[in-house]
Structure 1
Amino acid sequence: MSESLQGKVAVITGAASGIGLATAKALLEREATVVMVDRNEAALADLVGGRAIAQITDLLDVRSCNAMIPEILEKVPHIDILYCNAGTYIGGELTETTPEAIDKMLNLNVNAVMKNVHAVVPHMIERKTGDIVVTCSIAGHFPTYWEPVYSGSKWAITSFVQGMRRQMIPHGVRVSQVSPGPVASALLADWPEENLRKAKESGSLMDPEEVADAVVYMLTRKRSVTIRDMIVLPSNFDRV
């Protein structure tokens, strides 16, 4: 049976585009209040209003990242849902990237997620309720040799999320992840154009709304049920 999201307060990182934006729209349609977190102030300005609230945060800036949850709690009375969705991507051979790119990706895909969860957990424990969802990837379940740096970051997230899920059980806080396959979003901006074209033509890319639907399903289960991970793939994706 589906539970209502009416009146819930959700925080979504990376909310100005892609999966984050699609999920924000889906939660707003279900009458939740959504704090849309992104570093792109101009993009957020065109998206917020009413129950959609802007939070300008650069998750790669230590001070900005650490201030995110306290600043949000000055704007809303509480946080029911934290959806850590922001991330970046490195594909290809390890030798084709740089130490700087590796640092940036791990700081966003892993460190920022851990810090955001660390910041919100005391608030949710005090309230004895809450949902934490993280965007992982099919790459966090399979040794994707064509993107080992990205895959490594998502394996780390799978371990972190599933460990935190167990820690939070006594506190009434659900922790879960959604693991998409390839999504047509800015995350694949560095894919060669030919690869993108072939993937779209073959039906091996899906729209962000498909992932948003999965997140909504997870959040609307009754509190006695946790969807610990949902893998969502384009039906024609055959690489795993």
Structure 2
Amino acid sequence: MAQTLTGKTAAITGAASGIGLATTRALLNAGARVVMVDYDKAALDRLTRELGENAIAQVTNLLDAEDCAAMVPQILEKVGQIDILHCNAGTYIGGDLIETDTATIDRMLNLNVNAVMKNVRDVIPHMTERGIGDIVVTSSVAGHMPIQWEPVYSGSKWAITCFVQTMRRQLNKHGIRVGQVSPGPVVSALLADWPEENLRKAKENGALIDPEEVADAVLYMLTRKRTVTIRDMIVLPTNFDI
């Protein structure tokens, strides 16, 4: 049976575009208040004006250690509570490992892995004190199988899969649910880094999904009764051949 999100407050990272924006819209439509976390202040200003008073901007650069550490306290100053944390921000690297420079590897791992772990760590005391909360992480189907054309990205998502599964077991006794959504290829700016041939084939074969499909999965996870945890939901395009 679906539970209401009315009165709930969510914080979503990477909320100014793609899956983060689609999930913001879905949660607002479900009655939640959403703190939109992103480094793009201009986009947040425009979107919060468009989406209304229940959309609140939080400008944070997750790659800056001090900014990242300030995120949860600043959100709590603005809205007083965080019922849902959706760690969605991420980036992508494709191609052979030797084609990638080490600075780009550092940036991706810091955003896809380190920032997620730090954001989750920072929200735990607040959720534990209240005895309730939901943490959802955007992972990938690449976190469940080795994808040979994206070893760094796939490695980051395998790390997140392990993190989510361990944190679920640490936090469930505190009333906090932890799960991940693992989409296949999603129509977003991240696909600009895909190998051109793979992207062409995916487009021709209809092997892409829209961000709204992932947002629907997140909404489903969050609206289950508290005795149910969706640990991982894999959402694939029907024609995705992997």
Q: How far apart, CA to CA, are the structure 2 residues paired with 1:209 and 1:200?
A: 17
1:194/1:147 CA distance change after superposition, 3 Å: closer
TM-score if structure 2 supplies the norm length?
A: 0.97
Give the match's secondary structure for 1:34.
Answer: strand
Which residue number corresponds to residue 15 of structure 1?
Answer: 15
Structure 2 counterpart of 1:45, which letter?
D
TM-score if structure 1 supplies the norm length?
A: 0.98
The superposition leaves residues 216-237 of structure 1 with CA deviations (integer Å, 9 ceiling, x where unpaired) of 0000000000000000000000
Identity of aligned residues (%): 73
Structure 2 counterpart of 1:209, which letter?
E
Structure 2 counterpart of 1:2, which letter?
A
Structure 1 position 196, deviation (Å): 2.7
1:51-200 to structure 2, matched below 5 A, reads 51-200=54-203
**Mind listing any 5+ residue stretches in structure 1 that lack a counterpart?**
none
Give the match's secondary structure for 1:189.
Answer: helix
1:26 is the counterpart of 2:26: yes
Q: How many residue pairs are counted as aligned between the two chains?
A: 239
Structure 1 position 191, deviation (Å): 2.2
Q: How far apart, CA to CA, are the structure 2 residues paired with 1:218 and 1:103?
A: 31
The answer as to whether partners of 2:133 and 2:175 remain within 8 angstroms in 1 is: yes
Structure 2 counterpart of 1:138, which letter?
V
Give the match's secondary structure for 1:116.
Answer: helix
Q: How far apart, CA to CA, are the structure 1 residues paired with 2:92 and 2:28?
A: 28
Structure 1 position 195, deviation (Å): 3.6
Moved over 4 A (4+): none
Structure 1 position 198, deviation (Å): 2.8
Structure 1 position 25, deviation (Å): 0.2
Q: How far apart, CA to CA, are the structure 1 residues paired with 2:101 and 2:121?
A: 29
Considering fraction of residues, name the structure with more helix.
2
